[in-house]
A and B are shown apart, each in its own frame.
Chain A
Amino acid sequence: MKVELEADKCVASGQCVLAAMDVFDQDDDGIAVLLDERPADENLDGVREAVAICPAAAIRLVDQ
């Protein structure tokens, strides 16, 4: 599974960081940064949560 982040859509809510801290971080302006494009299985639930709660629909989890 691969994570895709469209950072230009991000509104800096920080919810992805709270949901999956090993996969997402924020830059100095609070904009989401992808730390791990192919997260380990144990982080996938957190990533799915991040996809579901991202207010800007900026995160996708794609099967590849």
Chain B
Amino acid sequence: MADTLTGRTSEAPDAVPEFPMPRQSRCPFDPPPSLKDLQREGPLAKVRLWDGSESWLVTRYAEQRALLGDPRVSADTDRPGYPTKASPEAGEGKLSFIMMDDPEHARLRRMVTAPFAVKKVEALRPAVQRIVDGLIDDLLAGPAPVDLVDAFALPIPSLVICELLGVPYEEHDFFQEHTRTMVRTTATPEERGAASREVAGYLAGVVGKRIAEPRGDLLSSIAGRVTAGELTHQQATEMALLLLIAGHETTANMIALGTLALLQHPDQLALLRESDDPRLVASAVEELLRYLHITHLGRRRAVTEDIEIAGRLIKAGEGVIMVNEIGNRDPEAFADPDRLDITRDARRHVAFGFGVHQCLGQPLARMELQVVYGTLYKRIPTLKLAGDLRDVRFKTDAFIYGVHELPVSW
């Protein structure tokens, strides 16, 4: 009885910690303290999930990279042991190739890699700069305080991904509303399912239009695969949905949470604001990707063959969860990992994951964040949080971590 009251032991089944762990309000940028405790104890621990099942939690950087790069771990959510974040009814259905294994994963992924190549993304930089400048003009012309999430952080990736896909931006309110519902864990399964069906239905319609009348955008290119018989209309729609969702919430949360982190670290903010060196801006982006942890529920996989790692045996049919927020705070990988230091070389972080599923949109995300972090604080040097940090509502209830609102003034 004492064990169950005082905490974990390695044997007592009741004492397997639950994942995700509650976050401490003391520092909203740090992983839960109990997650750090687990990391100190070793690279692997068993945790209990929402449905009562157990899974391996991989807490250290080296083991996370090894397992994410191992072909014996599967991203297929239908595999035995796959640690789901919620029930399938909750709208976490198959989301195109991120939930498939090679060779089908590679076949589908390669259909949409072209626009994310570094040079193609670089060619978009002036357009993104114009979007960011325009939104800052609007901020400065309007009243303060203002919610930075609504007025700035969300419109940027929304405008960019709508442009890239070829979705009319006039529809962005519709997408934002529904994608927010889809990633909110407190939404009911029915609400999430309905939101997902709304967006999928709309995208299916746009894909249909592009099949009939192609343009030069990514949806037209995906539609062309349907015409060529390489994709079904359904698969094309799922792919479009994946790109739209992945492009919205992640970057928006990095912009808002990153800004809040910099406001809480005025020395780092001053370095960034006062430098004209694009390398420092790029370095700040990598460090904020490392230091923050918007994908706080981890990369999840099912193990398909026994794997020996770190002196433990992970058996076929067991689940593994690689939580990048704690991997990125591994002292073996990054010196003084809990310190935000935009001058460090943080590029080896696992914020975008690792292995064949590593984020496809990362060059685009990097460029957008570089433009934002390199512009916003210079153009509004007196930018500050309006109100108290204690009143900021953090998205502990969402699949993507961040802030619900960020009231700022200047």
Which stretch (B81-89, B115-123, B152-160) binds chain A? B115-123
A53 and B347 contact, CB distance less than 8 A: yes
Q: Mark A8-34, 1 if CB is under 8 A from B, else 0.
A: 000111110111000001101111000
Q: Is the CB of B118 within 8 A of A55?
A: no
- Known: A14-B118, A14-B362, A53-B348. Is A30-B113 also a contact (CB below 8 A)? yes
CB pair A29–B113 under 8 Å, yes or no, is yes
Interface of A is mostly: loop
A11 to B, closest residue via Cβ = B356
Tally chain A residues at the interface, Cβ within 8 Å: 20
A35 at the interface (CB under 8 A from B): no
- A21-53: contact bitstring with B at CB < 8 Å (1 yes, 0 no)? 000011011110000000000000000010011
B354 and A55 form a contact (CB under 8 A): yes
Residues of B within 8 A of A (CB): 68-69, 106, 109-110, 113-114, 116-119, 121, 347-348, 352-360, 362-363, 366
Q: Which 5 A-B pairs have the closest CB atoms?
A: A55-B358, A30-B113, A12-B113, A30-B117, A14-B118
The 26 sampled A-B contact pairs (Cβ below 8 Å) are A11-B360, A12-B110, A12-B117, A13-B352, A13-B360, A14-B121, A14-B363, A15-B362, A17-B117, A17-B119, A19-B347, A25-B119, A28-B117, A29-B113, A29-B114, A30-B114, A30-B116, A31-B113, A52-B348, A53-B348, A55-B69, A55-B354, A55-B355, A55-B356, A55-B358, A57-B69
Q: Give A residues with C-beta under 8 Å from B.
A: 11-15, 17-19, 25-26, 28-31, 49, 52-53, 55-57
